[in-house]
């Protein structure tokens, strides 16, 4: 490492971003836009994904191991860019970590509280996130009513790239699945007497469906994604702590990527989520 | 344990069945039909599924650990009821095990060789299985041409139960996805000049799609599933070794279930694959 690199490293905040896989790269993408002068350490625990179908005990164990690894790399701030881990393991991570930890669910619920006029919010998420009722509870303590809808087929459809408009027969399937989930959710809302005006994307994969969702919604509804709201929150907290670099030119950031499985797949699939090419990914072993 | 139970245990062959999850229960279901007088130990490594998206090194490590656990329970015969593990890790498991090991790919390819007249076989499988080209290679050495088609969305659709005819809007999505995959495969076959007369289900989940597949195929094609062919092979080999019990009444079998995550989910989802209720599942820790 050169002296210049050393100086660069020490001056910038070091932010650890953790997800079970690639989805959290949509959060990193927003972080890069909001905090360009930082050093990022992204860990995707790809050998053990998906967390969405696993129990609380298992998710907590995996997430704590990953958080500790990021701390050992010098991260002074941890972003849990994984809804399942935020839902099932945030307390466990906070107990184990010595640095501030931010989860996507709290920031998502905060932004819904800022946005909703009717106070009725629809949350789309994975099975495990819904079963934890972490969003419903986070909504309740903010005076909102949260209607949670599990959409387990969306992640595989997004990972297969069946969202690209160019391949009509494939994207038609995704639109159809979305239609089924939304109709079920809207019917539930009606039965409960909810007036939804805000939709919260409770899975970091879902921002890739944003356009399809906007087209599919039967009435005007504001769509909030946790990637965006989390990035804004991290920026605020760094600024409050005097850790926001005064250097604000673009391309000052540096990203280090770590994965627990198939570096090649991470590069290929991850670039789609990050919105830019991923050059180097380091394979690490968490012993799982 | 009573004396009667002891006698039961020692007289019957003890068969270990391993899969990353629930899919292998279709193989156990066939085993129970063909070899009712046996003691079965089924291990689903559910904390680390799906194997289909993981690298060879990781799959081999997981599979060897699981196989060794089944041996430690006294299994005298191991069935690797997981296509990904059979494709990527069979040699590693055989090196590590002291008992005979049978994988679903060899038995599937054998049955295709017995069945196909044109010698051109279509194999549907997961991404990782296709990328390993284990089926193509197994076909080649038997004088067949194997066309492998990756169908990554079928497992999530099956696990969500979107195959049930009762919910038309959901099963219509699965039929559409199947149509897309089959059309792509048949176009590839045409381009290569293959005359397919046999379809091999290269994933233990796929038997649950059998009826839909029969309806979707444009021409008469024999569908072979590895659950069925594997069970027949185990029976032959036990008979040859003099380990087939002379007791043949039904309900003589005994099944022990082990999972590395969410026992509740295993019971619920697993019963659908096994075709009968699963009473008790033991949670075990493979340290992953």
Quote the ipTM score.
Answer: 0.84
In angstroms, the CA A23 to CA B247 distance is 54
B140-169 burial: b if 16+ Cβ within 10 Å, else e: eebebbbbbbbbbbbbbbbbbebbeeeeee
- Does residue A265 belong to the interface with chain B, where contact is any CB pair within 8 Å? yes
Quick one: pLDDT band at residue A247, thresholds 50, 70, 90? low
In angstroms, the CA B257 to CA B22 distance is 11
Q: How many CA atoms lie within 13 A of B116 on its CB side?
A: 27
CATH of B106-225, one of 3.40.50.1860, 3.30.300.30, 3.40.50.300, 1.10.3370.10: 3.40.50.1860
Q: What is the nearest CA distance from A90 to chain B, expressed in angstroms?
A: 19
- Judging contacts by C-beta atoms under 8 Å, the chain A residues touching residue B53 are 46, 49, 262, 265
For chain A, how far is it from start to end, CA to CA, in angstroms? Answer: 31
For B107-120, what is each residue's pLDDT tens digit? 999 999 999 999 99
Quick one: pLDDT band at residue B248, thresholds 50, 70, 90? low
Determine phi and psi for B149, rounding to 5 degrees.
-125, 120
Chain B residues 153-182 within an 8 A CB cutoff of chain A: 153, 156-157, 160, 162, 169-170, 172-173, 176-177, 180
Q: Which residue has the tokens 């992640």?
A: A155
- Judging contacts by C-beta atoms under 8 Å, the chain A residues touching residue B287 are 287-288
CB contact at 8 A, A16 and A235: no
**Catalytic site positions of A:** 82, 203
pTM score, whole prediction: 0.86
Q: What is the nearest CA distance from B153 to chain A, expressed in angstroms?
A: 7
Domain-by-domain residue ranges, chain A? 5-9+12-104+229-283, 106-226
Residue of higher predicted confidence among B134 and A56: B134
Examine domains A5-9+12-104+229-283 and A106-226 and report if their fold is the same.
yes
Asked if the bond preceding A150 is cis, omega within 30° of 0, the reply is: no
Q: What is the nearest CA distance from A173 to chain B, expressed in angstroms?
A: 7
In angstroms, the CA B199 to CA B117 distance is 12
In angstroms, the CA A91 to CA A137 distance is 15
- What architecture is the B3-104+229-283 domain classified under in CATH? 3-Layer(aba) Sandwich (3.40)
Quick one: pLDDT band at residue A10, thresholds 50, 70, 90? low
Backbone torsion region of residue B133, taken as left when φ is above 0, otherwise alpha when ψ lies between -120 and 50, otherwise beta: left
- Does residue A68 belong to the interface with chain B, where contact is any CB pair within 8 Å? no
Q: What residues pair up with B260 in beta bridges, in sequence order?
A: none
Stretch B6-19: mean pLDDT: 76
Pairs of residues, one from chain A and one from chain B, whose beta carbons lie less than 8 Å apart = 62
- Does residue B54 belong to the interface with chain A, where contact is any CB pair within 8 Å? yes
In angstroms, the CA A224 to CA A112 distance is 7
Q: With pLDDT > 90 as the criterion, what percentage of chain A qualifies?
A: 70
Torsion of Cα atoms, B265 then B269 then B271 then B272, to 10°: 170
- What architecture is the A106-226 domain classified under in CATH? 3-Layer(aba) Sandwich (3.40)
Residues 6+ apart with CB under 8 A from B239: none
Residue B2 has pLDDT above 50, yes or no: no
Question: A238 exposed, middle or buried (CB, 10 Å; 0-12, 13-18, 19+)?
Answer: buried
Residue A275 DSSP one-character state? T
Q: In chain A, whose CA is at the least distance from the CA of B175?
A: A173
Residue of higher predicted confidence among A288 and A105: A105
Q: What is the pLDDT, as a whole number, of residue B5?
A: 40
Any idea which fold A5-9+12-104+229-283 has? Rossmann fold (3.40.50)
- Does residue A205 belong to the interface with chain B, where contact is any CB pair within 8 Å? no
Stretch B104-131: mean pLDDT: 94
In angstroms, the CA A246 to CA B242 distance is 79
- Does residue A268 belong to the interface with chain B, where contact is any CB pair within 8 Å? no
Stretch A68-84: mean pLDDT: 94
């Amino acid at each position: 490492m050169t002296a210049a690199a050393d100086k660069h490293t020490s001056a910038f905040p070091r932010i650890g971003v953790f997800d079970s896989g690639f989805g959290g790269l949509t959060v990193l993408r927003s972080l890069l836009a909001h905090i360009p002068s930082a050093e990022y350490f992204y860990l995707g625990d790809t050998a053990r994904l998906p967390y969405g179908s696993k129990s609380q005990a298992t998710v907590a164990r995996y997430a704590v191991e990953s958080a500790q690894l990021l701390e050992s790399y010098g991260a002074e701030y941890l972003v849990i860019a994984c809804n399942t881990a935020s839902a099932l393991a945030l307390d466990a991570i906070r107990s184990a970590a010595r640095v501030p930890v931010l989860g996507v669910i709290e920031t998502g619920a905060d932004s819904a509280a800022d946005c909703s006029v009717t106070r009725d919010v629809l949350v789309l998420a994975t099975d495990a996130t819904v079963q934890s009722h972490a969003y419903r509870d986070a909504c309740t303590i903010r005076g909102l009513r949260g209607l949670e809808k599990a959409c387990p087929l969306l992640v595989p459809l997004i990972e297969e790239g069946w969202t690209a408009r160019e391949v009509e027969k494939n994207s038609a399937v995704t639109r159809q699945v979305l239609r089924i989930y939304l109709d079920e959710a809207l019917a539930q809302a009606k039965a409960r007497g909810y007036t939804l005006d805000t939709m919260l994307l409770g899975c970091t994969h879902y921002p890739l469906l944003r356009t399809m969702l906007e087209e599919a919604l039967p009435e005007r509804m504001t769509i909030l994604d946790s990637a965006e709201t989390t990035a804004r929150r991290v920026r605020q907290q760094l600024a409050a702590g005097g850790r926001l670099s005064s250097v604000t030119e673009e391309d000052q950031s540096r990203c280090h990527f770590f994965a627990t499985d198939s570096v090649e797949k991470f590069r290929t699939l991850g670039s789609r989520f990050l919105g830019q090419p991923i050059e180097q990914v380091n394979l690490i072993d968490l012993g799982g």
